[in-house]
C-alpha cells in the first residue's frame, strides 16, 4: 500500500468500525469491534508512519533559498472537492482534500492512533449503557482527529477541527457525570465559537492573498509561500497591507486556537468537560484534542502571520501562557476532585507548550512540539489512572481516600510513575521538552518580552507542578489505609487487571523511550521547525529594520 492509501485507510477504518459498532446488537460485540478497529488503525498508522520517519530525517535541515520558504509535506494526496470557475489555461482554484505528512504532524498522528487503544480498553466495563452507540462515537472521533493533523488545506483543516466536536459532544452529553448536559453544551459552544472566528481568519488570509496575487488557494503551504514571497520582497506599500492583514488574521486564529489549548481566561470549559466526560473522552480530550490548538498555532497562525506573531503574539500569548502555568497549577492544588486537579494541570502544562511555541526560536518550538506529545502521554495516562480509581470506588474526592498504595499496589506504582513523567523527571518524557522550553524562554527575542521573566515563570511552574501532584499522591496513596465507603458485601477491591495493564504499560514504555531517546522526534521535525524559525527570523529582521528607521 502506498502511504497515500494508508492515510486514507487510517481515516476510513475508524469510520467503518463506527458504522459496524453502531448497528451491533450488544455492548460486548461493539467493544470487540471497537478494539479490533483501533488495533487495525494503530497497525496501519505504524505502517504509514514508521517508514516515513527516516525519510523525514533524511531531508535537508533547512530549505535552501531556491526553495519556497514553506512546509513541504511528503506523500501528499490532493483532489478537488469543490472547484471554482477558473480561467482557461490556469489551474482551477478549489477547496481540496489535501493531506500529507511532515515532521510536525507525524508524531501527533501516531499519538492519536496510539491513545485510541487505551481509550477503548478503559471503557471496557465502565460503559454498560448504550454501549454500541458509545463505541460508535468513540471510533467516529478518531477520523477527524487524525484528519486535522493530516490536513494541508485550510478549509479541510477547519472542517476536521470542528468535526471533532460532534462525537465528543455526544460522549460527554450521554455518558458523562451528573452535570453532563451543562458540560457538553459549554464545551461545544465555547470551542465552536472559537472555531468560527478562526474560520474567519482562514478565509481572511485567503482573500488577502488573492487580492494581492490574484491566486485563489486554500492550501496552507502555498499560502505561506505566497505571503513569504511578498514579505521578503519588502515593498513598503505592500508591507503596510500585509501588516494589517496579519494582525486581523492572527487575532482571529488566536481566538479559535486559544480556546482549544486552552489558555487563560478562556479555559473554564475544560475542567467541567473533563470532570463530566467518561474516562475515554477525557483521555482523548487531554491527549489529542488540546493539541489541536497548539498545532494550529504552529501549523497555521505563526507561519502565516509571523510579523503579527512577533509583535502581538509573543507578548500576548507568552503572558497568557505564564498566567496559565502558575494559575493552572494553583487551581490544581486547591481542588478536592482528582480529575479536576488533572484537568487544571493540563491548563498549566499546555501553558508550557504555548510558551515554547511563542518563544519563536528553535529551542522553544522544538520543546513545544515535544511537550505536545509528552503531555498527550502523561496526562492521558493520568486520566486513565483516575478513571480506574473511580471505577473501583465511584468517588473522585481526594478526602475520601487515604493510603491506597497499600490496597492498590500496581495502580499506585503507575500513578507515581506517570506523575513523575508529568513533573518532568529526567529519563522520562517530560524532561527534555521542559528543558527545551526553558532554553527557548531564556533566549526569546521579541518586543516587550523578557527572557529572564519567562524563564523564571517556567521554573516556578516546574516547582508548582511537583507541589500539587506530590501533595495529591500523599493524600490519596500514602498514609494509613482508608478506603472510601463502598459495598462491603462485594469482594474486596482488586488491583489492576490484565486489560488495564494493557492500557497502561504501552504508555509507560513510551514515556521511558521518549525520555531517553527524544532525538527521532527532533530530527524528523528539524526541517519544518527550521522553516518556522526562519520565517520568524525574517519577521524579527523586518521589525529591527522598522525600529532602526
Give the HSE-up count for residue 227: Cα atoms under 13 Å, Cβ half-sphere: 36
The contacts of residue 547 (CB under 8 Å, 6+ apart) are none
| Options 51, 265, 399, 448; binder of another protein; rule CB under 8 A | 265
* Of residues 167-206, those binding another protein (CB under 8 A): 186, 189-190
| Options 12, 16, 435, 543; binder of another protein; rule CB under 8 A | 435
Q: Which is nearer to another protein, 222 or 267 (CB)?
A: 267
* Of residues 480-519, those binding another protein (CB under 8 A): 480-481, 516, 518-519
- Applying CB under 8 A, the span of 220-228, 273-281, 439-447, 488-496 interacting with another protein comes to 439-447
Q: Is 478 in the site for another protein (CB under 8 A)?
A: yes
Strand ranges, E, within 350-406:
none
60 CB-contact burial (10 Å; exposed 0-12 / middle 13-18 / buried 19+): exposed
**279-314 burial: b if 16+ Cβ within 10 Å, else e:** bbbbbbbbbbbbbbbbbbbbbbbbbbbbbbbbbbbb
Q: Is 160 in the site for another protein (CB under 8 A)?
A: no
- Applying CB under 8 A, the span of 111-119, 235-243, 323-331, 485-493 interacting with another protein comes to 323-331
3-state secondary structure of 395: coil
Cell reading at 248: 486581523
Looking at 447-497, list the stretches that DSSP marks H as alpha helix, in order from N- to C-terminal side: 451-477
Q: Is 270 in the site for another protein (CB under 8 A)?
A: no
Q: Is 522 in the site for another protein (CB under 8 A)?
A: yes
Which of these, 73, 62, 54, 150, lies nearest to 532 by C-alpha position?
62
* Of residues 326-365, those binding another protein (CB under 8 A): 327, 330-331, 333-335, 361-365
Q: Which is nearer to another protein, 89 or 178 (CB)?
A: 178
Cell reading at 1: 500500500
> Minimum distance between the CB of residue 498 and another protein, rounded to whole angstroms?
16
Q: Which is nearer to another protein, 211 or 519 (CB)?
A: 519
Say how far residue 442 (Cα) sits from the centre of its chain: 24
Q: Do the beta carbons of residue 250 and residue 308 sit within 8 Å? A: yes
- Applying CB under 8 A, the span of 7-15, 136-144, 313-321, 448-456 interacting with another protein comes to 448-456
Q: Is 403 in the site for another protein (CB under 8 A)?
A: yes
448 CB-contact burial (10 Å; exposed 0-12 / middle 13-18 / buried 19+): exposed
Q: C-alpha distances in angstroms, 304 versus 60, 202, 297, 385?
A: 22, 10, 10, 39
Q: Using CB under 8 A, count the residues that bind another protein.
A: 61
Please give the torsion angle defined by the CA atoms of residues 257, 259, 261 and 267, in that order, rounded to the nearest 10 degrees: 160
| Options 94, 143, 290, 439; binder of another protein; rule CB under 8 A | 439
Q: Is 459 in the site for another protein (CB under 8 A)?
A: yes
| Options 145, 373, 462, 496; binder of another protein; rule CB under 8 A | 462
- Applying CB under 8 A, the span of 24-32, 130-138, 172-180, 476-484 interacting with another protein comes to 476-484
- Applying CB under 8 A, the span of 33-41, 291-299, 421-429, 500-508 interacting with another protein comes to 421-429
Which of these, 530, 533, 539, lies nearest to 102 by C-alpha position?
530
| Options 93, 144, 303, 367; binder of another protein; rule CB under 8 A | 367
Q: Which is nearer to another protein, 75 or 186 (CB)?
A: 186
Say how far residue 534 (Cα) sits from the centre of its chain: 24
Q: How far apart are CA 83 and CA 151, in angstroms?
A: 18
Other Cβ atoms less than 10 A from the Cβ of 401: the count is 22
| Binding stretches for another protein (CB under 8 A) | 186, 189-190, 265-266, 268-269, 271-272, 327, 330-331, 333-335, 361-367, 403, 405-406, 420, 425-427, 431-432, 435-436, 438-440, 442-443, 451-452, 455-456, 459-460, 462-463, 466-467, 470-471, 473-474, 477-481, 516, 518-519, 522
Amino acid at each position: 500500500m502506498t502511504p497515500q492509501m494508508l492515510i486514507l485507510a487510517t481515516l476510513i477504518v475508524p469510520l467503518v468500525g463506527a458504522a459496524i459498532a453502531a448497528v451491533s446488537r450488544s455492548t460486548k460485540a461493539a467493544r470487540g469491534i471497537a478494539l479490533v478497529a483501533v488495533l487495525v488503525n494503530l497497525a496501519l498508522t505504524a505502517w504509514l508512519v514508521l517508514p516515513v520517519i527516516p525519510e523525514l530525517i533524511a531531508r535537508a535541515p533547512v530549505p535552501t533559498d531556491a526553495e519556497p520558504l514553506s512546509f513541504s509535506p511528503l506523500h501528499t494526496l490532493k483532489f478537488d472537492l469543490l472547484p471554482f470557475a477558473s480561467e482557461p489555461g490556469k489551474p482551477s482554484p478549489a477547496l481540496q482534500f489535501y493531506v500529507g505528512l511532515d515532521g510536525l504532524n507525524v508524531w501527533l498522528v501516531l499519538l492519536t492512533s496510539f491513545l485510541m487503544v487505551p481509550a477503548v480498553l478503559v471503557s471496557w466495563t465502565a460503559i454498560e449503557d448504550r454501549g454500541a452507540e458509545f463505541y460508535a462515537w468513540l471510533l467516529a472521533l478518531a477520523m477527524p482527529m487524525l484528519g486535522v493533523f493530516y490536513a494541508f488545506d485550510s478549509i479541510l483543516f477547519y472542517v476536521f477541527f470542528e468535526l471533532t466536536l460532534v462525537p465528543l459532544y455526544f460522549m460527554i452529553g450521554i455518558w458523562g457525570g451528573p452535570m453532563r448536559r451543562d458540560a457538553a453544551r459549554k464545551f461545544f459552544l465555547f470551542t465552536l465559537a472559537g472555531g468560527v472566528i478562526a474560520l474567519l481568519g482562514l478565509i481572511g488570509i485567503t482573500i488577502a492573498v488573492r487580492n494581492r496575487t490574484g491566486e485563489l488557494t486554500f492550501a496552507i503551504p502555498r499560502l505561506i509561500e505566497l505571503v513569504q514571497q511578498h514579505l521578503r520582497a519588502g515593498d513598503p506599500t505592500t508591507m503596510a497591507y500585509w501588516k494589517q492583514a496579519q494582525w486581523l488574521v492572527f487575532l482571529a486564529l488566536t481566538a479559535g486556537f486559544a480556546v482549544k489549548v486552552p489558555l487563560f481566561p478562556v479555559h473554564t470549559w475544560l475542567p467541567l468537560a473533563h470532570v463530566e466526560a467518561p474516562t475515554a473522552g477525557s483521555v482523548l480530550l487531554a491527549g489529542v484534542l488540546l493539541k489541536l490548538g497548539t498545532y494550529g498555532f504552529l501549523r497555521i497562525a505563526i507561519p502565516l502571520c509571523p510579523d503579527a506573531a512577533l509583535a502581538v503574539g509573543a507578548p500576548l500569548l507568552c503572558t497568557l501562557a505564564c498566567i496559565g502555568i502558575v494559575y493552572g497549577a494553583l487551581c490544581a492544588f486547591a481542588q478536592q476532585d482528582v480529575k479536576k486537579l488533572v484537568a487544571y494541570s493540563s491548563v498549566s502544562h499546555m501553558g508550557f507548550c504555548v510558551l515554547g511555541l511563542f518563544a519563536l526560536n528553535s529551542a522553544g518550538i522544538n520543546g513545544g512540539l515535544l511537550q505536545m506529545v509528552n503531555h498527550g502521554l502523561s496526562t492521558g495516562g493520568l486520566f486513565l489512572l483516575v478513571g480506574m480509581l473511580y471505577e473501583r470506588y465511584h468517588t473522585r474526592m481526594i478526602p475520601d481516600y487515604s493510603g491506597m498504595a497499600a490496597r492498590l499496589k500496581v495502580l499506585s506504582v503507575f500513578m507515581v510513575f506517570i506523575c513523575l513523567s508529568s513533573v518532568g523527571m529526567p529519563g522520562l518524557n517530560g524532561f527534555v521538552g521542559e528543558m527545551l522550553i526553558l532554553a527557548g524562554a531564556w533566549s526569546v527575542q521579541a518586543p516587550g518580552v523578557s527572557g529572564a521573566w519567562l524563564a523564571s515563570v517556567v521554573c516556578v511552574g516546574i516547582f508548582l507542578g511537583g507541589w500539587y501532584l506530590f501533595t495529591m499522591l500523599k493524600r490519596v496513596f500514602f498514609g494509613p489505609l482508608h478506603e472510601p465507603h463502598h459495598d462491603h458485601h462485594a469482594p474486596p477491591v482488586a488491583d489492576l487487571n490484565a486489560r488495564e495493564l494493557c492500557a497502561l504499560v504501552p504508555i509507560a514504555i513510551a514515556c521511558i523511550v521518549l525520555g531517553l531517546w527524544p532525538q527521532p522526534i527532533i530530527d524528523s521535525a528539524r526541517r519544518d521547525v527550521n522553516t518556522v524559525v526562519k520565517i520568524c527570523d525574517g519577521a524579527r529582521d523586518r521589525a529591527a529594520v522598522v525600529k532602526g528607521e
